[in-house]
Structure 1
């Protein structure tokens, strides 16, 4: 488990650590107290990743471009 504060991690760092946390928890070889700490860290990592994805989605939604490359307004990503 990394000592880097979750808030300072990039999306890629956080998702990689979240995968390691899940692998450790799935192994069943971690003691109860360590499992609780891993679960708490995993929850923070998940929240951080979701926030990063939401921020990226908002940026993309704001940048809808016309055929000539000019920004024409905002459109939600799931709108068609």
Structure 2
């Protein structure tokens, strides 16, 4: 089973900015905690959540690298 990256009403994960991915991830967590979903729907939602979490981690890592580069560029030699 492949990870669903998009549904008819959802933006592909790779196109989401950090804030949108984070907010959708919070929605996914809430939906899974509430329960009441079928197995297939729960698994698809969990897979979407995993993809969203990876997207957030990638964007945070990129931001961290940019900050570290700016700090390194401003340090006196």
TM-score (norm 1): 0.79
Superposition misfits of 4+ residues, deviation over 3 angstroms: none
More helix by share: 2
Please provide the CA RMSD for this pair. 1.9
**Higher relative contact order, structure no. (Cα contacts within 8 Å, ≥ 6 residues apart):** 2
* Greater strand share, structure number: 1
Higher-Rg member (1/2): 1
User: 34, 49, 52: which one pairs with 1:45?
Assistant: 52
- For structure 1, list consecutive stretches of 5 or more residues without a partner in the other structure: 74-80
* Partner of residue 75 from structure 2, selected from 62, 72, 77: 72
